[in-house]
């Protein structure tokens, strides 16, 4: 396939049109497929990592004014991790456009870290081509689900931690979470969870994940213990 067509297909797949496709070519080129070190994406990987971290930090800081520093750090670390970058690269199809050397292309499984690095390089390419606003728009679009998932997990941990402290202080025991029911097909399950403290069982709640259901069960229990109606029925 001719290079111009290859780069055009990549832009169509990812959903960003480059003003300078040469920047995209560099971002896609692994060191094994580069004629010189300067023509690989290693330097862009370094820049992309910083741009990604900046955008995630700014988003959390501006969007969640009551979120504590430790919570923001935990979420940011998870979102910008190599594991998440690799996952996003596969989801948006970036793995289909990586330019590697013959030796690497012949192996059955290219290391996940190479795709994660390519994700960071691609972010750098958008930043260099269209500026911070373009990079921010792209990052928040493709990382949105992972950001929301990490926030939900963090909230779940907080509510459960708060309930545990309350339970230990007032009842001298640890809350017990009980999975009551699972509904739905494999790819779209719902989980029904209740929480029990001492001999008192609180209203069960549904969630799209077990963690989410436990979070809501903990919120329900905390609300009731403070004299308020349950938040989830």
Catalytic (active-site) positions = 49, 120
Spacing of C-alpha 181 from chain mean position? 27
- 28 and 99 Cβ atoms separated by less than 8 Å: yes
Angle between helices 112-142 and 42-63 (to 10 degrees): 40
Cβ within 8 Å of residue 53, ≥6 positions away: 76, 80
Q: How distant, in Å, are the alpha carbons of 59, 140, 192, 208, 217 from that of 184?
A: 34, 30, 12, 10, 20
Give the C-alpha separation, 44 to 50, whole Å: 10
């Amino acid at each position: 396939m001719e290079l111009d067509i290859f780069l055009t297909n990549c832009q169509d797949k990812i959903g960003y049109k480059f003003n300078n496709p040469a920047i995209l070519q560099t971002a896609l080129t692994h060191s094994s497929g580069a004629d010189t070190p300067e023509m690989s994406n290693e330097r862009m990987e370094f820049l992309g990592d910083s741009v990604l971290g900046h955008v995630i930090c700014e988003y959390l800081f501006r969007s969640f004014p009551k979120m504590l520093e430790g919570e923001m750090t935990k979420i940011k670390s998870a979102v910008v991790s190599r594991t998440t970058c690799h996952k996003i690269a596969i989801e948006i199809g970036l793995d289909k456009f990586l330019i590697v050397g013959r030796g690497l292309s012949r192996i059955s499984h290219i290391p996940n870290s190479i795709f994660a690095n390519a994700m960071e390089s691609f972010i750098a390419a958008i930043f260099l081509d269209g500026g911070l606003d373009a990079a921010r728009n792209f990052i928040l679009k493709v990382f949105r689900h992972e950001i929301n998932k990490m926030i939900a997990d963090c909230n779940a941990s907080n509510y459960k931690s708060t309930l545990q402290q309350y339970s230990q202080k007032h009842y001298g025991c640890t809350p017990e979470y009980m999975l009551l029911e699972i509904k739905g097909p494999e790819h779209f399950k719902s989980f029904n969870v209740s929480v029990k403290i001492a001999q008192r069982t609180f209203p069960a709640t549904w969630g799209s994940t077990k963690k989410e259901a436990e979070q809501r069960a903990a919120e329900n229990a905390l609300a009731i213990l403070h004299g308020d109606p349950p938040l989830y029925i």
